[in-house]
C-alpha cells in the first residue's frame, strides 16, 4: 500500500453563507487547498465530493461542484455518511491513491443548510435517526436523540448540566481565536445555563448550529508529496464502523459503539496503544456537549464515567493532557454536515504544521493528530490518525 499524505488544506468561513451558492462555496475551499498544495486542477487525478444531498440545490452535487471548480472531466463521485460525510470523502480519495489508481486526489465536503430549497432543516436532521420508526412515530428529533444520551450519562455518573456546559465554554473560547469559525465570541457558564432548552437537558448553547461551509484537502502519494511539500501530513490509518439505526436497539446510552470500534481500528493501524501519550491534539464530534464527553471515553482518553472529569479539570484545553477541538469544534466553528469531517482534517493539518494562531496551537511533541467524526447518533463513525 502506498503511503498517502495531505499536501494541501483549505476552508471557507463557516456560518450563514447566503451570499453564495453551494458550488461557489465548495470552490472557495478547493481553491484554498489547491493553492496550499501549489497545484492546479489538471494535476488532480480524482475528486470525491462529500455532500448529504438533503439540502442540495442540485441533485448531482459532485458534477456541479466539479464543473464550477474546473475539475471536469476528472473522475468523481458523491459520498454520504450523514454527519461523517466529509470523512467518507477523504476515505475515498485516500484509497484512490493507496490503491494506485491516482497519484493526487482531492476530497471536498460542502453543505448549504440555510435557505434550503427542500425543507425545514430541523425536520430533515430529525430523519437522520431512524426515519420510519422513531421519527415518524415518536417525533424524535436530533437534539432529542442526544438528550437521551445526556440524561442517561447524567443519571448514571452524577453529572450536572453545568458539567456539560463546560464543553461549550471551552469550544467557544477557542472559536474566538478562529477566523473561520461561525461563532467567534466566548461564552460564560451562565450564558450556557441560561440559554433556552432545546431538549432537556440540552440547551441552545449545548448544541452545534446550522451552518453553511466547505472544506477541502489535497492528498498525494509519497513521491508526489515529497515533491510538493516539505511538511507532508501522512494519513497513518483510518477506522470506520457503523451502528444500529434504531436507538431502541442500542445496549445503553453511555457511549457510541461505532466510535469505539472505529477508534480500535485506527489505533491498531497507527500503532497507538496509549492515546493520551501518543496523540498531541484531537478534534472530536461535539454536535452536542454530551457528545464530546462521550467521545473522550469512546476514544480511550478517559475510562467510562470519567470523561466529564477531563473537562472539569480543563485537561482538554490547549495545555491539558489531551487538547480537544482547539478550532472551536462543531459547537463554535460550526457544523456544515457534509463539510465537517473535511474541516477536521484541515484542522489536524494546520495543528501538525504549527500553523494555528498561538492562542489555540497545541504543543506538537509526537507529531500525531486524531479526528473523530460521527454520523447520526453513532450510525457512522470515522476515526483518522494523521502524523508528521
If one asks whether residue 116 binds its own copies (CB under 8 A), the answer comes out as no
Q: What is the three-class DSSP state of 159?
A: coil
Q: Pick the catalytic residue: 172, 285, 335, 379? A: 335
Q: Which of 70, 186, 257, 320 binds its own copies (CB under 8 A)?
A: 257
Q: Which three cell numbers stand for residue 187?
A: 461564552
Nearest CA to 143 out of 351, 287, 10, 8 is that of 287
User: How far apart are the C-alpha atoms of 33 and 53, rounded to whole Å?
Assistant: 23
Q: Which of 18, 35, 38, 100 binds its own copies (CB under 8 A)?
A: 100
If one asks whether residue 178 binds its own copies (CB under 8 A), the answer comes out as no
Q: What is the three-class DSSP state of 100?
A: coil
Binding segment for its own copies (CB under 8 A), chosen from 174-182, 195-203, 259-267, 285-293, is 259-267
Q: Shortest gap between Cβ of 119 and its own copies (angstroms)?
A: 10
Indicate if 335 belongs to the active site: yes
Q: Shortest gap between Cβ of 302 and its own copies (angstroms)?
A: 22
Q: Which three cell numbers stand for residue 36?
A: 496550499
Kind plus residue range of the DSSP H or E element containing 63: helix 61-68
User: How far apart are the C-alpha atoms of 16 and 254, rounded to whole Å?
Assistant: 33
Kind plus residue range of the DSSP H or E element containing 34: helix 22-37
User: How far apart are the C-alpha atoms of 169 and 162, rounded to whole Å?
Assistant: 10
User: How far apart are the C-alpha atoms of 4 and 235, rounded to whole Å?
Assistant: 6
- Sequence-distant (6+) residues with CB within 8 A of 119 are none
If one asks whether residue 88 binds its own copies (CB under 8 A), the answer comes out as yes
Q: Which of 11, 39, 69, 81 binds its own copies (CB under 8 A)?
A: 81
Q: Which three cell numbers stand for residue 365?
A: 511533541
Q: Shortest gap between Cβ of 93 and its own copies (angstroms)?
A: 10
If one asks whether residue 76 binds its own copies (CB under 8 A), the answer comes out as yes
If one asks whether residue 64 binds its own copies (CB under 8 A), the answer comes out as yes
Q: Which three cell numbers stand for residue 340?
A: 465537517
Q: Which of 18, 40, 101, 155 binds its own copies (CB under 8 A)?
A: 101
Bridge partner residues of 235 (DSSP): 386
Q: Which three cell numbers stand for residue 337?
A: 454536515
If one asks whether residue 120 binds its own copies (CB under 8 A), the answer comes out as no
Bridge partner residues of 197 (DSSP): 203
If one asks whether residue 43 binds its own copies (CB under 8 A), the answer comes out as no
Q: Shortest gap between Cβ of 242 and its own copies (angstroms)?
A: 5
Q: Shortest gap between Cβ of 197 and its own copies (angstroms)?
A: 26
Indicate if 83 belongs to the active site: yes
Query: Strand 46-50 vs strand 4-11: parallel, antiparallel, or unpaired?
Result: unpaired
Q: What is the three-class DSSP state of 249?
A: helix
If one asks whether residue 242 binds its own copies (CB under 8 A), the answer comes out as yes
Q: Which of 82, 110, 164, 294 binds its own copies (CB under 8 A)?
A: 82
If one asks whether residue 96 binds its own copies (CB under 8 A), the answer comes out as yes
Q: Tally the C-alpha atoms within 13 A of residue 222's C-alpha that lie toward its C-beta.
A: 7
Q: Which of 172, 236, 350, 379 binds its own copies (CB under 8 A)?
A: 379
Task: Show the binding pattern over residues 211-240: x = contacts its own copies (CB under 8 A), - = does not.
Answer: ---------------------------xxx
Neighbours of 82 (CB within 10 A): 20
Catalytic residues: 83, 335
- The residues of the shown chain that bind its own copies, judged by CB under 8 A, are 1, 46, 52-54, 57-60, 62-64, 66-67, 71-82, 88, 91-92, 94-96, 98-101, 124, 127-128, 130-132, 238-246, 257-258, 261-262, 265, 375-376, 379-380
Amino acid at each position: 500500500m502506498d503511503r498517502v499524505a495531505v499536501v494541501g488544506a483549505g476552508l471557507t468561513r463557516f456560518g450563514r453563507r447566503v451570499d453564495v451558492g453551494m458550488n461557489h462555496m465548495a470552490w472557495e475551499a478547493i481553491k484554498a487547498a489547491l493553492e496550499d498544495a501549489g497545484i492546479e486542477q489538471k494535476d488532480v487525478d480524482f475528486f470525491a465530493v462529500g455532500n448529504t444531498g438533503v439540502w442540495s440545490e442540485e441533485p448531482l452535487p459532485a458534477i456541479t461542484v466539479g464543473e464550477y471548480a474546473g475539475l471536469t472531466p476528472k473522475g468523481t463521485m458523491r459520498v454520504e455518511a450523514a454527519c461523517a460525510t466529509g470523512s467518507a470523502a477523504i476515505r475515498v480519495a485516500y484509497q484512490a491513491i493507496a490503491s494506485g489508481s491516482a497519484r493526487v486526489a482531492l476530497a471536498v465536503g460542502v453543505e448549504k443548510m440555510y435557505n434550503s430549497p427542500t425543507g425545514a432543516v430541523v425536520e430533515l436532521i430529525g430523519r437522520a435517526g431512524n426515519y420510519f420508526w422513531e421519527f415518524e412515530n415518536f417525533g424524535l428529533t436530533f437534539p432529542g436523540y442526544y438528550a437521551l444520551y445526556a440524561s442517561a450519562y447524567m443519571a448514571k455518573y452524577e453529572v450536572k448540566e453545568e458539567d456539560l456546559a463546560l464543553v461549550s465554554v471551552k469550544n467557544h473560547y477557542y472559536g474566538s481565536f478562529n477566523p473561520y469559525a461561525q461563532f467567534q465570541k466566548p461564552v460564560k457558564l451562565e450564558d450556557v445555563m441560561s440559554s433556552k432548552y432545546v431538549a432537556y437537558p440540552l440547551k441552545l448553547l449545548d448544541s452545534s448550529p446550522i451552518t453553511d461551509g466547505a472544506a477541502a484537502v489535497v492528498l498525494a502519494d509519497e513521491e508526489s508529496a515529497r515533491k510538493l511539500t516539505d511538511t507532508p501530513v501522512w494519513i497513518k490509518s483510518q477506522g470506520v464502523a457503523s451502528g444500529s439505526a434504531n436507538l431502541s436497539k442500542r445496549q445503553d446510552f453511555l457511549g457510541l459503539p461505532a466510535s469505539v470500534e472505529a477508534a480500535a481500528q485506527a489505533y491498531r493501524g497507527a500503532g497507538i496503544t496509549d492515546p493520551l501519550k501518543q496523540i498531541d491534539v484531537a478534534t472530536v464530534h461535539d454536535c452536542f456537549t454530551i457528545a464530546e464527553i462521550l467521545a473522550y471515553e469512546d476514544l480511550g482518553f478517559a475510562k467510562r464515567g470519567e470523561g466529564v472529569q477531563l473537562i472539569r479539570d480543563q485537561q482538554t484545553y490547549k495545555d491539558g493532557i489531551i487538547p480537544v477541538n482547539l478550532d472551536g469544534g462543531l459547537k463554535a466553528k460550526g457544523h456544515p454536515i457534509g463539510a465537517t469531517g473535511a474541516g477536521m482534517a484541515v484542522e489536524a493539518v494546520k495543528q501538525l504544521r504549527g500553523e494555528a494562531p498561538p492562542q489555540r496551537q497545541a504543543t506538537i511533541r509526537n507529531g500525531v493528530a486524531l479526528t473523530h467524526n460521527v454520523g447520526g447518533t453513532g450510525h457512522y463513525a470515522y476515526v483518522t490518525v494523521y502524523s508528521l
